[in-house]
Amino acid sequence: MAPRSLSDPPVTPDGRYIVVRGRLWRRANPRLEDATRERLVQELMAARRAVGAALRAADQSALGAARARVGAAKTALGERGPVWWDDGAPDENRHMARNTRYADWFADLEASSKT
């Protein structure tokens, strides 16, 4: 694994999640081809911009459609929906890292960041 910069969130040892404010967030499927991932990320960003525009316009219909686009892009990336790994491990997306099988790893990470 490449070293992370100070701005990159920590990644679990198995590469399935990033940790943001102590919470696990599922990463994109690493098996996606680069071009596919890039296209999906562009769609996700466009959909997020559409959410913002709909919120600013107070357009509930557009907001629903934009949020559906965000969900579809995140599912296609593997960040939502069925897990992309095949070893039977449960999905711990959105769980606090300290309450998961990553608890010891996360405690060590926190301890090392305080030194």
Task: With CA atoms as reference, report the closest residue to 32 among 88, 73, 70, 69.
Answer: 73
Distance of alpha carbon 63 from alpha carbon 108, whole angstroms: 41
Going by pLDDT thresholds of 50, 70 and 90, the confidence category of residue 113 is confident
3-state class (DSSP) for residue 29: coil
pLDDT bin (cut points 50, 70, 90) of residue 114 is: confident
Residue 81 in contact with residue 75, Cβ under 8 Å?
A: yes
pTM value > 0.75:
yes
Tell me the per-residue pLDDT of 40-61, one tens digit each, with 9 for 90 and over.
Answer: 999 999 999 999 999 999 999 9
In whole angstroms, give the CA distance from residue 92 to residue 106.
14
Q: Which pLDDT score, from 0 to 100, does residue 43 have?
A: 98
